[in-house]
Amino acid sequence: MRNTKPSVKDFSKSLIQADTVTLGRAITLIESKKTEDKKFADALLEKILPSTGKSLRIGITGSPGVGKSTFIEAFGKYLTSRGKKIAVLAVDPSSMKTRGSILGDRTRMEELSKDACAFIRPTSSGNSLGGVADRTRETILLCEAAGYEIIIVETVGVGQSETAVRNMVDFFLLLQLAGAGDELQGIKKGIMEMADAIIITKADGENEKKAKQAQTEFQHALHLFQPSTSGWTPKVLTTSALQKKGIAEAWKMIESFHEVTKANNSFQENREQQKLAWFHENIQLMMKEKILQSKKTLSKIQMLEKKINLGKILPSAAAKEILKGL
């Protein structure tokens, strides 16, 4: 494998030519913990940077059972039917024992995975918050370089902070079920405040009336929040992925959001803020890695951990002790 790996120049050329095998290999390199792979991945990202940033990035979240994968498949098929190239970064919950992916989104989006204009990459969320994989941002850049116009990031949606995904997408979509007992009082206010739109899923059959009622309630609730700085007023729609109802309207709404935020420059401002947030997050991560690489520091940490457990020192004071030695 090592002997057959092409140069960064050849690798980037294949990637920009939309070779999906190369894209898959590039993402594997990005996710690798090996030093050699990390260096190659960093060089590759630098090389393809001019070919990135031209997609529309959509984050989709919602509680388990809300039908995220079913919605994304119907939505994705609609987009590819309109000639769009889409990439779905579907982040699965991780096994606490193996850190491996549990659900496997290719089996949950069978039709979309066969579509030549779609690329699906299920990855494990590992230890990261927000249900997004450690290198999701880098994976987005690789997909953009490969020519994918719309990048969908599906989060785990099991209660972690959703701020992580909000800080890497342009449009944040919250999926909700009608009559599931989580309307208004049960739904996290913070997630609703971050949402650019709410979609009530499974609005068909006996659920259709409940979905319409939930739509009215959520729309009213959104008016109680502070107006968005983007100039966009969040919308609430109903959809039925099975009956393909509301899917075209959902895309039309996202297109409208894109036009509004591009016109008032908030789209670009949001992207710039996200890059700075990424920069500061990396500083924190690299500082932590550097601290943990020192055997002397690790020994000191273990000693302080014992003192904390014995009640001899506060955790905050112990952390200051570590920083004194740097």
pLDDT at 166: 86
Per DSSP, the three-state class of 89 is strand
Over residues 128-146, mean pLDDT:
78
Would you say residue 191 has pLDDT above 70? yes
pLDDT at 185: 44
Question: Do residues 9 and 62 share a domain?
Answer: no
Write the CB contacts of 292 (distance below 8 Å, at least 6 apart in sequence).
298
Question: Do residues 21 and 80 share a domain?
Answer: no
- 249 falls within a domain: yes
DSSP string, 48-83: HGGG-S-SEEEEEE--TTS-HHHHHHHHHHHHHHTT
Question: Do residues 67 and 123 share a domain?
Answer: yes
Question: Do residues 123 and 246 share a domain?
Answer: yes
Confidence band, pLDDT 50/70/90 cuts, at residue 187: low
- 97 falls within a domain: yes
pLDDT for 62-95, tens place per residue?
Answer: 887 888 989 999 999 999 999 999 999 986 554 3
How far apart CA 176 and CA 124 sit, in angstroms, is 23
Confidence band, pLDDT 50/70/90 cuts, at residue 160: low
Question: Do residues 116 and 64 share a domain?
Answer: yes
pLDDT at 64: 79
> How many domains are there within the chain?
3
Would you say residue 101 has pLDDT above 50? no
Cross-strand bridge partners of residue 175: 199
The whole model's pTM is what?
Answer: 0.86
Question: Do residues 302 and 257 share a domain?
Answer: no
pLDDT at 131: 41
Over residues 307-326, mean pLDDT:
90
Question: Do residues 70 and 129 share a domain?
Answer: yes
- Residue 80, burial from CB neighbour count under 10 angstroms (0-12, 13-18, 19+): middle
pLDDT at 133: 53
Give the residue from 214, 234, 264 where a domain finishes. Answer: 264
Helical spans, DSSP H, in the chain: 8-16, 20-31, 35-48, 68-81, 105-108, 110-113, 136-145, 163-166, 189-194, 207-222, 247-263, 266-293, 295-309, 315-324
Over residues 280-295, mean pLDDT:
86
pLDDT at 6: 83
pLDDT at 289: 83
How far apart CA 236 and CA 212 sit, in angstroms, is 10
Q: Which span out of 1-10, 131-140, 145-154, 276-285 was modeled with the highest average pLDDT?
A: 145-154
Give the residue from 50, 65, 80 where a domain finishes. Answer: 50
pLDDT at 96: 37
Would you say residue 104 has pLDDT above 60? no
Question: Do residues 116 and 208 share a domain?
Answer: yes
**What is the domain-level CATH number for residue 9?**
1.20.5.170
pLDDT at 294: 85
| Percent of the chain with pLDDT strictly greater than 90 | 53
Per DSSP, the three-state class of 109 is coil
Question: Do residues 212 and 76 share a domain?
Answer: yes
Question: Do residues 291 and 147 share a domain?
Answer: no
- 36 falls within a domain: yes
Write the CB contacts of 9 (distance below 8 Å, at least 6 apart in sequence).
47
| Percent of the chain with pLDDT strictly greater than 70 | 83
Question: Do residues 201 and 59 share a domain?
Answer: yes
Q: What is the dihedral angle through the alpha carbons of 313, 316, 317, 321, rounded to the nearest 10 degrees?
A: 120
pLDDT at 128: 52
Is the distance from CB of 245 to CB of 204 less than 8 angstroms?
yes
The residue segments making up the domain with residue 197 are 52-264
Would you say residue 236 has pLDDT above 70? yes
- 310 falls within a domain: yes
How far apart CA 115 and CA 137 sit, in angstroms, is 24
Confidence band, pLDDT 50/70/90 cuts, at residue 180: low
Confidence band, pLDDT 50/70/90 cuts, at residue 114: very high
Give the residue from 221, 240, 264 where a domain finishes. Answer: 264
Would you say residue 254 has pLDDT above 90? yes
- The residue that leads in pLDDT, 317 or 160, is 317
DSSP string, 151-178: EEEE---SSS-THHHHTT-SEEEEEEET
- 269 falls within a domain: no
Over residues 283-306, mean pLDDT:
88
Work out whether strand 197-201 and strand 86-92 pair parallel, antiparallel, or are unpaired.
unpaired
How far apart CA 31 and CA 325 sit, in angstroms, is 31
Backbone angles phi, psi at 159, to 5 degrees: 110, -10
How many CB atoms within 10 Å of residue 58? 22
CA 100 from chain center: how many Å?
A: 18
pLDDT at 287: 86
Question: Do residues 45 and 72 share a domain?
Answer: no
Cross-strand bridge partners of residue 86: 118, 150
Write the CB contacts of 246 (distance below 8 Å, at least 6 apart in sequence).
199, 203, 237, 238, 239, 240
- Average pLDDT of the chain? 85
How far apart CA 265 and CA 261 sit, in angstroms, is 6
**What is the domain-level CATH number for residue 180?**
3.40.50.300
- 270 falls within a domain: no
How far apart CA 173 and CA 150 sit, in angstroms, is 14
pLDDT at 44: 96
Over residues 102-118, mean pLDDT:
74
DSSP state of 247: H
pLDDT at 99: 42
- 292 falls within a domain: yes
